[in-house]
Amino acid sequence: MKNLKLTTGSVTSAYLISLGAVLVSYYGIRFWSLWRKAVAACRVAPSWNWRLFDVSKNLRLMFPDYPKRKLGDPHAGFRPYAEAGSTVLATIPLETLKPAIWFSNAEACRQILDLHETRFRKDMKGYELLLFLGPNVVASEGALWKKHRRAVRVSFSEKAYALVWDETGRTLDEWFDAIQSSGGSEIEVDTLTSLSKVTLNIISSVGFGEHFPWNNPVQTESNRLPLSTSVVEAVPLTVLRALLPNWAYRLPFQSFAKAKLAFEEMERNFTEIIKAANADTSDSSHKRGAEQGDILLGLLQANETADDEQRLSDREVLADIYILLLAGHDSTSHTVAFITAIFALYPDIHARVREEADNVWPGAHINPTKRKHSAYKDDFQRLIYTQAVFHEALRHFPPVSVFPRLVGEDTVLPGTKQNTSKSTGYEFSESFSVPLSVGDLVVPDVYALHMNPHYWGANAADFDPTRFLAPDWPKHAFMPFSSGPRACLGRGFATAEASRIIATLAQDWDLECTNELRNIPWESRKEQLLQWRQEVTMTPVNIKLIFKKRPGDT
């Protein structure tokens, strides 16, 4: 009997080993077949490399991607293209084995983004991160996207930008008062945290008429959060909320419970606001408010006048509000945070913005009320160098560095080979065609495009706002807000908001590095201050600066 058991066990083991060998062989052969197919598809590009994760999926936001500093790493910039001598390269992700063809020349990037719905479309699997509240103006395609865009775009107008301008001034006054009330002549400020609060206040006030107090109220005993608290706590947790399944929030982790409460309360608060606004859209006072630029009221009134099949549900309006809230504060606060670091690193840039602000608002650093009646239609257009600084920051730190698209019909895109030139960096030497088939994944690499010396000169890596003052600056190679019909609706909003923040900061405050950074070489200081990581948008890692109030006699 003992021998029988051994024999039975041996048979079972042999069976499992055989089954394992069959499975390994099957998946090994399948992997090899898909790998060879992917490699063959990459032959349209002069060079390719592997990566762990697919550029159009969300795992790359949760885990470190490899290899570093190679094509597909957001920090690589234009380097892989320069090393290969080509504006067209490819990657093969082990996650999906679906090759991606990357472009860093303006001609191809423009075609991909401008020819939306005809030849190129969004891969919606890559936008699941933004779909936890449902389809919205960013995460939708086809007729559904047109329905969302029709309702949302009405709210972005010169009147809205004027409202943004005024609200930005009011919010900055509150922030500056809070800094000064902390005492001392030198105050260390976490600029990213503070600016996130500033821009969140602005979009909340302009977007749906809710101005948050600078010091947020605490949670009430009824376990209900006011809108300000729920939004402040929910927005930074967007990636966590989107990627974790609903059952995960029942696990006994305090951070999960906090995230769950914040999003539930934010949704409840927004639902109540939408319900109240819907009930009052026929009121004349609300109509005046919408005409003055209120985004939510404008959206609801546009929605009310739409045909039944084009009308958004309250849930769809909620999804759009959250996307506008996220995009309306996240990208601007990050870009301006980078600019505060630039001010600390490049005092000459700070001084020139200050000089421009002094010309627009003489003496306002002594008496801030002189900015109180600043009008968008008069003053915004005078902040020319300030806007150049904002554009240069967007060139170096585009909120979204890539815009993956799926090919909708067989087509051909242009590529170029390049030679090294000491005087101008990299020069185009030969054009070639890149044939593409339906279903191929193409990637306009905006960050690399912004660093391409063919368009931006041999000093492309330098921070030089004056390049945007030249009448012939390469507009076709500048795409921080994407391009074409899917370009960001809020670019005018962001430019007005950022320009006033940048100019006011420069006029009122001296910004310096912390003592820890002052004692290291300038290049190391720059590297530490301008570190960033890729989340939903390009996010600064650690920008803490010393704020000193500008002397009144300066």
Query: What residue numbers does the annotated binding site cover?
Result: 488
Assigned token pair, 440: 């191929």
In whole angstroms, what is the distance from residue 195 CA to residue 33 CA?
50
Binding residues for heme: 488
Bridge partners of 549, per DSSP, are 509
Q: Please give the torsion angle defined by the CA atoms of residues 309, 311, 313 and 316, in that order, rounded to the nearest 10 degrees.
A: 110
Each residue of 448-462: b (16+ CB within 10 Å) or e? bbbbbbbbbeeebee
CA dist 438 → 93, 120, 125, 287 (Å): 19, 9, 17, 47
Q: What is the DSSP letter of 311?
A: P
Write b or e for each residue in 168-203: b if 16 or more Cβ atoms lie within 10 A of its Cβ, otherwise e. Answer: bbebbebbbeebeeeeeeebebebbebbbbbbbbbb
**What distances in angstroms separate CA 156 from CA 163, 537, 549, one per listed residue?**
11, 22, 35
CA end-to-end distance (rounded Å), the chain: 100
Measure the CA–CA gap between 227 and 241, rounded to whole angstroms.
18
Query: In this structure, what DSSP letter does residue 130 have?
Result: G
Q: Would you list the DSSP string of 151-195?
A: HHHTT-SHHHHHHHHHHHHHHHHHHHHHHHHT-SSSEEEEHHHHH
Residues 6+ apart with CB under 8 A from 285: none
Dihedrals φ, ψ of 32, to 5°? -65, -40
Joined tokens for residue 422: 């000491």
| Residue indicated by tokens 């762990």 | 52
Question: What is the rounded radius of gyration, in angstroms, for the C-alpha atoms of the chain?
Answer: 26
Residues constituting the chain:
554
Residue given tokens 């969140």 in the structure block: 200
